[in-house]
Amino acid sequence: MGQVNEVNVKEYPSAIELSTILKCVNYPAAKDTIVNSVLSDNTDKNLSEMLIQIENKVYNNAPEVMCNRLSKQRII
């Protein structure tokens, strides 16, 4: 059986904004670099908290960060 993920659809606007912000990061980039880059742009606190929750590793592009973030959510 496949895994069922739940996503809070109320977070979609934040996800869209987050993907836009992540496009400005120079990849490959470590989690700390991504978080610091976003925090330096005076990003919304909720978006910063989303990024703090991603896995501590090096990411090759924005979609990889988004996939890591979205894989931790559940649709509700």
Report the percentage of the chain scoring pLDDT > 90.
25
* Contact call for residues 57 and 64 (beta carbons, < 8 A): no
Does residue 1 sit within a domain?
Answer: no
**Tens of pLDDT, residues 52-67:** 888 999 999 999 998 8
DSSP 12-66: HHHHHHHHHHHTTS-SSEEHHHHHHHHHHTT--HHHHHHHHTS-SSEESSHHHHH
Would the pTM count as exceeding 0.75?
no
pLDDT at 12: 54
pLDDT band for position 74 (50/70/90)? Answer: very low
- By residue range, what is the domain housing residue 39? 9-70
Question: Is 45 contained in some domain?
Answer: yes
- Percentage of the chain beyond pLDDT 70 is 68
2 lies in a domain? no
As for how many domains the chain has, the answer is 1
Asked whether residue 75 is assigned to any structural domain, the reply reads no
